[in-house]
Amino acid sequence: MNANEYQKKTIDTAIYPGAGTGDNRELVYLALGLSSEAGEVAGKVKKLIRDGLFEPKQLGAELGDCCWYIARLAEALGYDFETILRWNFEKLSERLVKKTIGGSGDNR
């Protein structure tokens, strides 16, 4: 399955206020959900530092949840997932060429 196929299938499990509308309720719900899932990723890594416990499959599952929210957000904004991925790769490639990949800020 490619990224755009995955994105199209996410609507089947999109059960929340405003699902599929692209309205503010949907954007807020998805942004909060992504933040929550990213926090779960951080929590799994924190346990590695604190307890020495690391379960790659559980971390992978949380990464998948992040992907779901990113795919839904992209859809709500009218972009296909592969476009988002391409834009990110192009931005990072440009920063690599300009030797600003290690810097900070959006416009470098």
Q: What is the CATH number of the domain that holds 11?
A: 1.10.287
Judge whether 101 lies within some domain.
no
Q: What is the pLDDT of residue 106?
A: 74
Q: Which residues are CB-neighbours of 26 under 8 A, at least 6 positions away? A: 16, 17, 18, 19, 20, 72, 76
Q: What is the mean pLDDT of residues 10-28?
A: 97
DSSP element (H, E) containing 31: helix 24-51
Judge whether 88 lies within some domain.
no
Q: DSSP state, 12?
A: G
Judge whether 103 lies within some domain.
no
Judge whether 17 lies within some domain.
yes
75, 19 contact by CB (below 8 A): no
Judge whether 86 lies within some domain.
no
Domain holding 22, by residue range, is 3-80
| Total number of residues shown for the chain | 108
Q: What is the pLDDT of residue 102?
A: 83
Q: What is the pLDDT of residues 33-59, one digit of tens each?
A: 999 999 999 999 999 999 998 899 999
Judge whether 95 lies within some domain.
no
Q: What is the pLDDT of residue 101?
A: 84
Q: What is the pLDDT of residue 107?
A: 75
Using DSSP, state whether 64 is helix, strand or coil.
Answer: helix
Judge whether 107 lies within some domain.
no
**Six-digit token pair at 74?**
């992209």
| Total count of domains within the chain | 1
Judge whether 60 lies within some domain.
yes
Q: What is the pLDDT of residues 70-101, one digit of tens each?
A: 999 999 999 999 999 999 999 999 999 998 88
Asked whether the predicted pLDDT for residue 18 surpasses 90, the reply is: yes
Global pTM reads 0.91
